[in-house]
């Protein structure tokens, strides 16, 4: 086997990235440009050319899956010379390995426990309880997110400086101090501690740092655009002796700022590391040229980027389609119809629908169930299986069917009303003994004064509310309105609104979408029947399935055909992102669009709706500003209307987002007609 065999299948720029071994290197790897191939070939080259032993190479990935794949690929390249890579892993796994050897430097023992998210949540709950902090108002997960944010910035409790206005954060800081001390007392560390503690050791103990910075002759980092502050500091320390740091990534695919990722690590790499060699991998092996042209032209609107121009090794291919629909139902119907056509020549596994927000899957799920298209939700749960949806449905089933014990058991303490497991057990045992429903059993135990005073209040309140809601049901209150009453009076809405975290925001969006779905049914009975059939249908087919997922979940994946629905202002780019982060938020949303388009190998189909059903009303929606930024020469525009006149619908929106001028949306003319 020739030494250079691993170079034979690399293009010129890929070879340059593999062969340039001296000093810091930033490889700007466009989507589908073969970055993993370059990284693994580079490792093989270092070992083959005897520049370093495998134990002197540090290779860092973001996931265990990526690390495993890299190990397999390197072994294949080296064949008989294959060797293990003891320092190949994630930031966390490698930090844990270092920390085990030097745990005493941060007050831990070498056998420390790494606690998971559930343990973290439980610990914060206990701290809140002891400090009289109401977890109904502030979610422990939200508190942990703030603590994690501080840790990602390299801040221990003593390092956090708060502004006068940050009164809420004062409580969080107090919890952080107690939390961190508890971890030491328990001889434990959370995931972020692994990196934070390691950096602290490097800062404080130069002799320990010297061991590792001298040891690692070559350092390679995958997905560098996703690194946060503490990870970048970690790398700086380890690279300070040999300076052979090679970072691979794509600034145009930096979409995780909400996880703490800082794009400036990538953009300022050449300022941080002197004499940096920047190599651009621009040849794309995934998508057709037309798809790349659309993605490239769109991302050019971003100011903060290194810059590159992707070109394909494939033909031009079909134009990217841009479809305008009357409403989201029409959008889902048309997409399902075209999928039916595509599946004759394409595997369903090669078809994906990518949405900005998870609630958007509902309309497609409903349609797929109706026409019999199998599907899977990647990185999420099917709509009617989401916990908040099941809670709502359980309340409605209790109203409709008082003997539904499973539903009653689900809602008895949701939201919290001091009905613990002991009480539920007592109710259940009485029910079995007396052959009655759980609800009747609860009433009887209250009458017999067998329920604790604290529990009695919450349980009595629930039973009274159930009777009140059944009265509403009997007097023919609209089922959609009935659920809104239930959510308000039960305290469920308040529970979600009060808990400040992203998870609860998503839950609220899902419930709004559920209320939209209920509008499509004449009565409660038909809706509940629909839900029962939707959840009982065997969706776990071994056969092929269409893939549904969020734009974020799609990163790193690829499909022959990609649908991108819901490109509407406020939804995409998401209003919250722009409100919280301004221009940087808008640029990240545009990078998300770039990621989405470049998932497609053969066909990319973008669409938006003129009307969206929101909280019980049809609202006029406006096509995303990204639609206006798409290059006309690579786009095929379709208006999907039959019974309307062409002039009623405008693709050209005449939007100027930088001025106070009037904004015209698709359907503007029709809206004006309504006003007249």
Is residue 36 part of the annotated active site? The answer reads: yes
What the block records as the tokens of 189 is 């560390």
Annotated catalytic residue: which of 151, 390, 397, 599?
599
Annotated catalytic residue: which of 14, 71, 198, 223?
223
What the block records as the tokens of 603 is 């066909």
Is residue 520 part of the annotated active site? The answer reads: no
CA distances from 357 to 169, 228, 392, 524 (A): 28, 24, 20, 27
Count Cβ atoms below 10 Å from residue 606 Cβ, excluding itself.
Answer: 25
| Residue pointed to by tokens 């989401």 | 386
Cα separation, 100 vs 164, in Å, equals 39
Annotated catalytic residue: which of 37, 61, 90, 222?
222
* Torsion-angle region of 317 (φ positive above 0: left; ψ -120 to 50: alpha; else: beta): left
Half-sphere exposure of 490 (CA within 13 A, CB side): 25
Q: What 3-state DSSP class applies to 219?
A: strand
Cα separation, 400 vs 218, in Å, equals 66
* Torsion-angle region of 169 (φ positive above 0: left; ψ -120 to 50: alpha; else: beta): alpha
Cα separation, 309 vs 427, in Å, equals 67
DSSP label of 574 = B
Enumerate the H helices of 49-104 as residue ranges: 64-78, 91-101
Q: Of all helices (H) and strands (E), which one includes residue 48?
A: helix 35-48
Half-sphere exposure of 501 (CA within 13 A, CB side): 17
Is residue 35 part of the annotated active site? The answer reads: yes
Is residue 450 part of the annotated active site? The answer reads: no
CB 74 within 8 A of CB 61: no
CB 283 within 8 A of CB 13: yes
What's the gap between Cα 67 and its chain centre? 21
CB 547 within 8 A of CB 349: yes
Q: List CB contacts of 265: < 8 A, sequence separation 6 or more.
A: 224, 225, 227, 228, 229, 232, 272
Count Cβ atoms below 10 Å from residue 500 Cβ, excluding itself.
Answer: 16
Q: Of all helices (H) and strands (E), which one includes residue 548?
A: strand 546-550
Annotated catalytic residue: which of 253, 360, 423, 455?
253
Cα separation, 36 vs 250, in Å, equals 13
What the block records as the tokens of 407 is 């539903």
Q: List CB contacts of 130: < 8 A, sequence separation 6 or more.
A: none
What the block records as the tokens of 489 is 């009076």
Q: Of all helices (H) and strands (E), which one includes residue 323?
A: strand 320-327
98-113: b (≥16 Cβ within 10 Å) or e? bbeebbebbebeeebe
Annotated catalytic residue: which of 15, 36, 276, 535?
36
CA dihedral (42, 46, 52, 55) positive or negative? positive
Annotated catalytic residue: which of 13, 35, 356, 612?
35
Cα separation, 144 vs 192, in Å, equals 11
Sheet strands (E) in 73-205:
88-90, 113-114, 188-189
Angle at 428 between CA 422 and CA 430, to 5 degrees: 105
Q: What are phi and psi of 441, to 5 degrees?
A: -60, -45
CA distances from 538 to 365, 373, 391, 533, 543 (A): 14, 12, 22, 10, 12
What residues act catalytically? 35-36, 222-223, 253, 599
């Amino acid at each position: 086997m020739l030494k250079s065999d691993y170079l034979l299948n690399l293009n010129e720029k890929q070879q340059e990235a593999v062969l340039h071994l001296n000093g810091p290197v930033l490889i700007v790897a466009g989507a589908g440009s073969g970055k993993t191939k370059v990284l693994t070939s580079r490792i093989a080259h270092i070992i083959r050319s005897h520049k370093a032993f495998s134990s002197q190479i540090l290779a860092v990935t973001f996931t265990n899956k990526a690390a495993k794949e890299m190990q397999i690929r390197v072994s294949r390249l080296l064949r008989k010379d294959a060797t293990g890579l003891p320092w190949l892993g994630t930031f966390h796994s490698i930090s844990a390995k270092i920390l085990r050897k030097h745990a005493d430097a941060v007050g831990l023992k070498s056998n420390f426990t790494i606690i998971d998210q559930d343990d973290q949540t439980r610990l914060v709950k206990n701290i809140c309880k002891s400090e009289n902090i109401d977890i109904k108002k502030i979610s422990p997960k939200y508190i942990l997110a703030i603590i994690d944010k501080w840790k990602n910035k390299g801040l221990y409790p003593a390092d956090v400086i708060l502004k006068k206005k940050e009164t809420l954060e004062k409580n969080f800081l107090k919890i952080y101090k107690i939390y961190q001390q508890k971890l030491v007392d328990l001889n434990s560390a959370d995931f972020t501690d692994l990196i934070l503690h390691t950096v602290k050791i490097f800062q404080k103990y130069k002799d320990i740092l010297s061991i590792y910075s001298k040891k690692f002759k070559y350092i390679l980092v995958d997905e560098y655009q996703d690194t946060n502050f503490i990870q970048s500091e970690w790398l700086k320390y380890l690279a300070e002796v040999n300076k052979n740091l090679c970072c691979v990534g794509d600034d145009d695919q930096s979409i995780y700022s909400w996880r703490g990722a800082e794009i400036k690590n990538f953009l300022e790499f050449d300022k941080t590391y002197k004499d940096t060699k920047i190599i651009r991998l621009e040849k794309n092996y995934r998508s057709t040229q037309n798809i790349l042209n659309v993605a490239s032209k769109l991302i050019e609107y971003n100011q903060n980027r290194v810059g590159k121009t992707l070109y394909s090794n494939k033909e031009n291919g079909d134009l990217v389609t841009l479809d305008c629909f009357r409403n989201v139902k029409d959008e889902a119907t048309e997409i399902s119809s075209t999928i039916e056509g595509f599946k004759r020549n394409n595997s369903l596994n090669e078809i994906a629908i990518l949405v900005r927000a998870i609630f958007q899957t509902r309309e497609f799920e409903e349609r797929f169930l109706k026409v019999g298209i199998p599907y899977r939700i990647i990185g999420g749960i099917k709509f009617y299986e989401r916990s908040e949806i099941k809670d709502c449905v359980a309340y409605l089933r209790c109203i409709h069917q008082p003997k539904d014990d499973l539903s009653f058991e689900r809602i008895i303490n949701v939201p919290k009303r001091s009905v613990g497991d002991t009480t539920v057990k007592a109710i259940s045992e009485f029910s079995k003994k007396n052959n009655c429903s759980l609800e009747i059993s609860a009433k009887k135990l209250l009458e017999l004064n067998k329920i604790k005073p604290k529990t009695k209040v919450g349980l009595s309140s629930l039973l009274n509310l159930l009777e009140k809601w059944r009265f509403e049901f009997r007097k023919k209150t609209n089922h959609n309105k009935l659920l809104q009453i239930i959510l308000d009076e039960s305290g469920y809405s308040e529970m979600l609104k009060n808990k400040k975290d992203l998870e609860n925001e998503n839950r609220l969006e899902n419930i709004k979408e559920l209320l939209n779905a209920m509008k499509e049914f004449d009565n409660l009975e038909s809706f509940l029947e629909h839900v029962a059939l939707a959840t009982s249908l065997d969706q776990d087919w071994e056969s092929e399935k269409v893939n549904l997922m969020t734009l974020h979940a799609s990163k790193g994946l690829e499909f022959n055909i990609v649908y991108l629905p819901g490109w509407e202002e406020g939804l995409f780019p998401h209003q919250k992102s722009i409100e919280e982060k301004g221009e940087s938020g808008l640029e990240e949303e545009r990078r998300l669009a770039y990621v989405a388009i470049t998932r497609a190998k053969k066909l990319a189909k973008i669409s938006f709706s003129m009307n969206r059903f929101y909280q019980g009303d049809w609202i006029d929606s406006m096509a995303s500003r990204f639609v206006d930024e798409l290059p006309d020469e690579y786009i095929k525009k379709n208006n999907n209307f039959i019974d309307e006149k062409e002039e009623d619908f405008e693709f050209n929106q005449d939007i100027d987002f930088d001025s106070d001028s009037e904004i015209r949306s698709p359907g503007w003319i029709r809206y004006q007609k309504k006003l007249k």
